[in-house]
């Protein structure tokens, strides 16, 4: 069964208008809806039967994997453990994400625990979007976890997005970055009404010459709350940077706690953090170009979360 | 074009909240249509405040602002922009995730690549590869001023207000910038108000407005302004000033 709501959810989370090219695994309400493997990318159930293993063969380049999850069954709480093994010198894009449609009063939730093992020289772009739609009053809960293990000279770019609709989120990202490897994480979260989101991050720079850069952008509307924690831990000569900005609108609240921990004398760690309302000079500039107050606010938020 | 009557802006002293000070102290002035005004005066004299009052960025304590005979006192910044006033900030805003292209498209009301290219060609002082630069904290002081100028011109304004468009601008660009504003004035009849300490802009102006202590100390031709401009009470540099012709300094 695949209906209009599913279509809309897939469009929102994975930008899909049709069956994707290349390998994919689409999960709906805890069950497999469709799967396709390619010559270089294999997808199989894990032995525990609670998730999938995606194996990208070494030297696979310019391929993508789509693994969206959609949920539209009241009362369902779905948990999956997915493992990604990204072979040596490969270069792939993984599009994940979860869309919840809630039509009733019962809560719905999804916990996706994604573990990535990047082999030597592997490059991965991981795009994860979380959305929740529907008129129902039930709580929509999304708790994603990523764990990234990066071998020598591997590269990972992760874009993690949650733009509205999710009532409760506990987002966890953990990474261990090996020698010469680089990790770039961008997390964008928008909350409104009385939604709550918490993001907990632990990034360990364990290899010589490793790099990590985490950018967090939060927009906190209505009476919502967002908290952001990151521990950036250096165990070798490395470079790490955290940039976290939160824009508070209405009555939102935010706690941002970036922590830098150098356990090696040659570590270079920096952070920038800010919490505040939309800057009035930005608003004035856009209004002086003819935008009304609300339009100006929208453009600033749009850019900020882009 | 713009007429201000008994315009006042009174604010609490920054160091003592209970004392108040007139930052703009009852200014009456008429900016004639199609003319180019050089507004100058010492730091802190109220030039930016006056410019912001006209744009609606700062609300006056009292007084009237008319544009083409119509009272615009109740118009918001956006409404004044749509009525044909455009504004270059002395301290330009920096964004996150907004590019020069975004600002220029908003200003021009089009995303059409050819039209944006035409504006950039018309402005002349910033190149096409500026277009996708983020307007963020990384831009240099001169770069962001060029972007301010371009977005101001892109509005095709009736009245253009430039608050110190030349700060941070390199020596090679000042001349072309003056020429550009003069050309805009000539070709499109733009009423031009330039706040500047730079002789190049003041010489190019049809009239000088000298602001001191929140009031107009002089208005009229450049030559007539010279004695007051060179007066040490206006030039904050006193002894170290190397003279008017060498440093182009008219503080
Ligand atoms: N909202 C405000 N509240 C209190 N004081 C203000 C306010 N706005 C401006 N001022 C003060 O008014 C004075 C005039 O400021 P303004 O920015 O208009 O000066 P200016 O002539 O543009 O100076 P500059 O040449 O340095 O740009 C300054 O002393 C400033 O601190
Ligand atoms: Mg000023």
pLDDT in tens, A17-43: 778 888 999 999 989 999 999 999 999
The rounded distance, in Å, linking the Cα atoms of A290 and A283 is: 11
Domain assignment of residue A18, yes or no: yes
Q: What CATH number did the domain enclosing B179 receive?
A: 3.40.50.300
Domain assignment of residue B96, yes or no: yes
Lowest mean pLDDT among A273-287, B66-80, B120-134, B186-200: B120-134
Domain assignment of residue B57, yes or no: yes
The rounded distance, in Å, linking the Cα atoms of A102 and A180 is: 44
Number of domain units in chain B? 1
Instruction: Give me the mean pLDDT over the B55-60 stretch.
Output: 96
Q: Look at residue B241 and tell me whether its pLDDT is greater than 70.
A: no
If phi > 0 it is left, if psi is from -120 to 50 it is alpha, else beta; for residue A193 that is left
Give ipTM to 2 decimals: 0.90
Q: Which of A218, A219, A217, A146 is nearest to A183 (CA)?
A: A146
Domain assignment of residue B112, yes or no: yes
- Burial class from Cβ neighbours inside 10 Å (0-12, 13-18, 19+) for residue B49 reads buried
Domain assignment of residue B243, yes or no: no
The rounded distance, in Å, linking the Cα atoms of B178 and A147 is: 57
Domain assignment of residue B45, yes or no: yes
- Burial class from Cβ neighbours inside 10 Å (0-12, 13-18, 19+) for residue B184 reads buried
Q: Which of B163, B121, B127 is nearest to B143 (CA)?
A: B127
Domain assignment of residue A157, yes or no: no
CA count, 13 A, side-chain hemisphere, B24: 26
Domain encompassing residue B32: 2-232
Domain assignment of residue A85, yes or no: yes
Domain assignment of residue A278, yes or no: no
The residues in A 202-221 lying below 8 A from B, measured between CB atoms, are 217
- Interface membership of A298 toward B (CB under 8 Å): no
Domain assignment of residue A26, yes or no: yes
Domain assignment of residue A112, yes or no: yes
Residue B231: predicted pLDDT: 66
Residue B251: predicted pLDDT: 45
Number of domain units in chain A? 1
Check the CA dihedral A286-A291-A296-A302 and report its sign: negative
Phi, psi of A185 (to 5 degrees): -120, 130
Domain assignment of residue B114, yes or no: yes
- A244: nearest CA partner in chain B: B96
Domain assignment of residue B46, yes or no: yes
B95 chain-A contacts, CB cut-off 8 A: 282, 300, 303-304
Residue B248: predicted pLDDT: 47
Domain encompassing residue A51: 1-143
The rounded distance, in Å, linking the Cα atoms of B89 and B77 is: 13
Domain assignment of residue B242, yes or no: no
B78 chain-A contacts, CB cut-off 8 A: 287-288, 290-293, 296
CA distances from B103 to A195, A246, A300, B150 (A): 32, 22, 11, 9
Domain assignment of residue A39, yes or no: yes
Query: pLDDT confidence of B244, banded at 50, 70, 90?
Result: very low
- Residue A138 gets which letter from DSSP? S
- pLDDT tens digit string along B160-191? 999 999 998 888 899 999 999 999 999 999 99
- Select the residue from A190, A273, A288 to test the B interface by mutation, using most B Cβ atoms within 10 A: A288
Stated as kind and residue range, the H or E segment containing B47 is: helix B47-55
The rounded distance, in Å, linking the Cα atoms of B157 and B137 is: 27
């Amino acid at each position: 069964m695949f209906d209009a709501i599913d279509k809309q959810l897939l469009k929102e989370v994975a930008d899909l208008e049709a069956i994707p090219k290349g390998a994919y695994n689409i999960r709906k309400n805890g069950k497999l809806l469709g799967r396709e493997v390619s010559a270089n990318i294999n997808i199989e159930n894990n032995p525990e039967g609670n998730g999938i293993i995606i194996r990208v063969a070494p030297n696979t380049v310019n391929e993508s994997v789509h693994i969206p999850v959609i949920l539209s069954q009241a009362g369902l709480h779905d948990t999956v453990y997915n493992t990604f093994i990204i072979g040596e010198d490969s270069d792939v894009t993984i599009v994940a994400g979860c869309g919840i449609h809630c039509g009733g009063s019962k809560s719905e939730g999804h916990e996706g625990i994604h573990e990535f093992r990047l082999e030597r020289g592997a490059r991965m772009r991981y795009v994860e979007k979380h959305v929740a739609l529907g008129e129902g009053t039930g709580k929509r809960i999304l708790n994603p976890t990523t764990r990234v293990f990066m071998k020598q000279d591997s590269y990972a770019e992760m874009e993690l997005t949650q733009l509205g609709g999710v009532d409760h989120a506990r987002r966890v990202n953990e990474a261990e970055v090996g020698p010469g490897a680089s990790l770039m994480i961008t997390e964008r979260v928008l909350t409104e009404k009385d939604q709550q989101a918490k993001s907990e991050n632990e990034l360990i720079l364990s290899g010589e010459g490793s790099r990590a850069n985490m950018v967090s952008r939060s927009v906190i509307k209505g009476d919502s709350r967002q908290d952001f924690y990151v521990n950036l831990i250096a165990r070798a000569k490395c470079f790490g940077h955290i940039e976290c900005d939160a824009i508070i609108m209405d009555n939102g609240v935010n706690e941002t706690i970036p922590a830098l921990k150098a356990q090696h004398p040659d570590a270079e760690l920096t952070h920038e953090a800010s919490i505040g309302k939309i800057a009035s000079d930005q608003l004035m500039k856009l209004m002086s170009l003819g935008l009304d107050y609300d339009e100006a606010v929208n453009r600033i938020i749009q850019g900020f979360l882009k | 074009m713009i007429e201000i009557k008994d315009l006042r802006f009174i604010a609490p002293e920054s160091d003592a909240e209970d004392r108040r000070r007139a930052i703009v102290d009852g200014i009456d002035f008429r900016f004639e249509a199609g003319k180019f005004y050089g507004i100058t005066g010492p730091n802190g004299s109220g030039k930016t405040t006056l410019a912001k009052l006209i744009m609606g960025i700062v609300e006056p304590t009292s007084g009237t602002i008319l544009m083409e005979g119509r009272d615009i006192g109740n118009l918001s910044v956006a409404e004044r922009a749509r009525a044909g006033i455009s504004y270059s900030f002395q301290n330009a805003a920096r964004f996150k995730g907004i590019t020069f292209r975004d600002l220029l498209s908003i200003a021009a009301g089009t995303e059409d690549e050819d039209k944006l290219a035409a504006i950039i060609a018309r402005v002349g002082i910033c190149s096409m590869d500026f277009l996708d630069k983020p307007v963020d904290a990384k831009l240099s002081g001169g770069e962001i001023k060029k972007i301010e100028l371009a977005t101001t011109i892109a509005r095709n304004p009736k009245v253009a207000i430039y608050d110190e468009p030349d700060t941070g601008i390199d020596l090679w660009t000042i001349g072309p910038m003056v020429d550009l504003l003069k050309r805009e004035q000539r070709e499109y009849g733009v009423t031009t108000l330039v706040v500047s300490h730079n002789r190049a802009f003041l010489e190019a102006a049809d009239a000088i407005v000298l602001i001191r202590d929140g009031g107009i100390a002089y208005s009229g031709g450049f030559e007539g302004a010279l004695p007051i401009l060179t007066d040490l009470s206006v030039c904050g540099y006193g002894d170290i000033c190397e003279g008017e012709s060498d440093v182009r300094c008219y503080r």
